């Protein structure tokens, strides 16, 4: 099934249904969210996570707001949508897909004059965002598979798979496509402290897809690169700035620097909805600070492992300067340096298609 979808049972109003990623791989549970505030909370608390999945969820959150609004007139309904948008945008600041999706729904809704039409187009647009994401990932996977050498060991950080998107995945989609094309590949899976998206989610997805992998501690990645055991690093991103700087899960920067030092190519794999030409450089990307409990213990398992009162910093993302980036894989081709030009080209291609 898709990581997130609009679900309508006979006789009941529609809900936003999603896989609760906090519980995986121990438990597979679906959440059915009935109010837009529940959707905002699910994004903030990371029941759903991964930039494209966050975007699609926010789109459905807007559709839910349109359907639940009690407003009798168009203007009141649009005000309710603006309010829902503000709540959704306040959840996680780094992934630009969130803003992108919310604005898409708002713009479509604002074009309509009648309450019922506003409701209908809000859901239609949210559904298009979700459907497009799946199609885009498949194209991205095909494009990226070409850069994966036969017999390659691929280093991967965080989770960029079907769970992090609506389906299929970005960097993990490239890995999936290379595997489906019959390439013999092996994935080194970074555990991805503190929330263990690699150990919990990527390992789970690779196991189901029967793609060979080895789980490693984040701190081991440098060792594997220095000893010549990695052919390519593939990661996702939450935002790519106009100059090619890339914000992704904390720890990505360190990987990129070590990759360059050891001559290992480093490719972020992103849908064009993750490219933000209005953000000039990585320094302009807001970096989310997450709760200290994610560090002080195996927090989401509810057990503290550090001394009481220890001071904690927990940035959820870091920025990799573009000089460490070999190329950026998108559904419209691979952007190579100079990124100021090539990113514009892949974006323009998405307006053509
Ligand atoms: O904090 P998360 O789990 O939402 O972070 C996810 C990542 O950093 C992913 O690499 C990124 O969103 C791309 S997912 C296709």
- With a CB cutoff of 8 Å and minimum separation 6, the contacts of 144 are 171, 173, 174, 177, 178, 234, 267, 269, 329, 334
**173 and 67 both lie in a single domain:** no
Per-residue confidence (pLDDT) for residue 46, from 0 to 100: 98
Active site residue 131: no
| Domains held by the chain: number | 2
Residue 42, both tokens = 């699910």
Question: In the chain, which stretches have pLDDT less than 50?
Answer: 353
**186 and 328 both lie in a single domain:** yes
End-to-end alpha-carbon separation of the chain, Å?
Answer: 27
Per-residue confidence (pLDDT) for residue 35, from 0 to 100: 96
Per-residue confidence (pLDDT) for residue 10, from 0 to 100: 86
C-alpha separations of 42 from 18, 47, 67, 254, 311 in Å: 9, 5, 19, 29, 27
108-127: per-residue pLDDT in tens? 999 999 999 999 999 999 99
267-326: per-residue pLDDT in tens? 999 999 999 999 999 999 999 999 998 998 765 566 788 888 999 999 999 999 999 999
Give the SS3 label for residue 155: strand
Q: What is the CA radius of gyration of the chain?
A: 20
Query: DSSP letter at 290?
Result: P
Per-residue confidence (pLDDT) for residue 300, from 0 to 100: 54
**133 and 149 both lie in a single domain:** no
Residue 275, both tokens = 């490219």
**85 and 163 both lie in a single domain:** no
**222 and 179 both lie in a single domain:** yes
Determine the residue of 21, 175, 248, 316 to mutate for testing ligand 1's pocket, defined as the one with the most ligand atoms within 8 A of the Cβ atom.
248
CA–CA separation, 112 vs 115, rounded Å? 8
Residue 121, both tokens = 């187009």
SS3 string, 174-225, reads HHHHHHHCCCCCEEEEECCCCCCHHHHHHHHHHHHHCCCEEEECHHHHHHHH
Residue 98, both tokens = 């969130």
**173 and 148 both lie in a single domain:** yes
CATH for 250: 3.40.50.10470
Determine the residue of 236, 270, 315, 318 to mutate for testing ligand 1's pocket, defined as the one with the most ligand atoms within 8 A of the Cβ atom.
236
The domain boundary residue, chosen from 137, 160, 194? 137
Q: Estimate to the nearest angstrom the gap between the alpha carbon of 219 and the chain centroid.
A: 23
**182 and 130 both lie in a single domain:** no
Per-residue confidence (pLDDT) for residue 255, from 0 to 100: 98
C-beta of residue 271 within 8 angstroms of C-beta of residue 310: no
| Marked catalytic residue, from 167, 218, 238, 245 | 238
Ligand 1 surroundings by CB, under 6 angstroms: 49-52, 95, 158, 160, 164-165, 170, 197, 235-238, 248-249, 316
**219 and 280 both lie in a single domain:** yes
**70 and 176 both lie in a single domain:** no
Least Cα distance to 144 among 105, 183, 118 occurs for 183
Per-residue confidence (pLDDT) for residue 301, from 0 to 100: 60
Neighbours of 216 (CB within 10 A): 17
**190 and 261 both lie in a single domain:** yes
**218 and 346 both lie in a single domain:** yes
Q: What is the span of the domain harbouring residue 213? A: 143-352
**60 and 38 both lie in a single domain:** yes
């Amino acid at each position: 099934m898709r990581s997130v979808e609009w679900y309508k049972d006979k006789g009941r109003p529609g809900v936003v249904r999603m896989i609760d990623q906090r519980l995986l791989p121990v438990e597979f549970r679906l959440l059915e969210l009935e109010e837009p505030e529940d959707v905002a909370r699910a994004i903030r608390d990371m029941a759903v996570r991964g930039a494209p999945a966050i975007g699609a969820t926010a789109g459905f959150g807007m559709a839910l707001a349109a359907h639940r609004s009690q407003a009798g007139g168009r203007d009141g309904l649009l005000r309710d949508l603006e309010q829902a948008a503000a709540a959704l945008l306040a959840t996680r600041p780094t992934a630009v897909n969130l803003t992108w999706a919310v604005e898409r729904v708002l713009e479509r809704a604002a074009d309509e004059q009648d309450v019922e039409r506003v409701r209908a187009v809000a859901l239609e647009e949210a559904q298009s965002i979700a459907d497009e994401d799946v199609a885009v990932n498949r194209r991205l996977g095909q494009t990226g598979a070409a850069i994966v050498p036969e017999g390659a060991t691929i280093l991967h950080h965080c989770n960029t798979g079907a769970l992090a998107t609506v389906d299929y995945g970005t960097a993990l989609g490239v890995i999936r496509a290379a595997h489906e094309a019959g390439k013999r590949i092996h994935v080194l899976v970074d555990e991805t402290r503190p929330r263990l998206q690699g150990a919990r989610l990527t390992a789970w997805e690779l196991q189901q897809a029967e793609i060979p992998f080895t789980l490693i501690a984040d701190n081991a990645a440098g060792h594997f690169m220095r000893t010549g055991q990695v052919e390519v690093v593939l990661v996702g991103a939450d935002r790519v700035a106009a100059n090619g700087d890339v914000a992704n899960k904390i720890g990505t920067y360190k990987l990129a620097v070590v990759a360059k030092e050891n001559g290992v190519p480093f490719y972020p794999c992103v849908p064009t909805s993750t490219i933000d030409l209005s953000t000039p450089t990585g320094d302009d990307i807001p970096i989310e600070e997450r709760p200290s409990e994610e560090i002080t213990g195996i927090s989401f398992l509810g057990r503290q492992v550090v001394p009481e009162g220890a001071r904690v910093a927990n940035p959820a993302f870091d920025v990799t300067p573009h000089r460490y980036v070999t190329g950026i894989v998108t559904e419209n081709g691979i952007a190579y340096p100079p990124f100021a030009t090539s990113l514009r080209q892949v974006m323009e291609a998405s307006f053509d298609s």
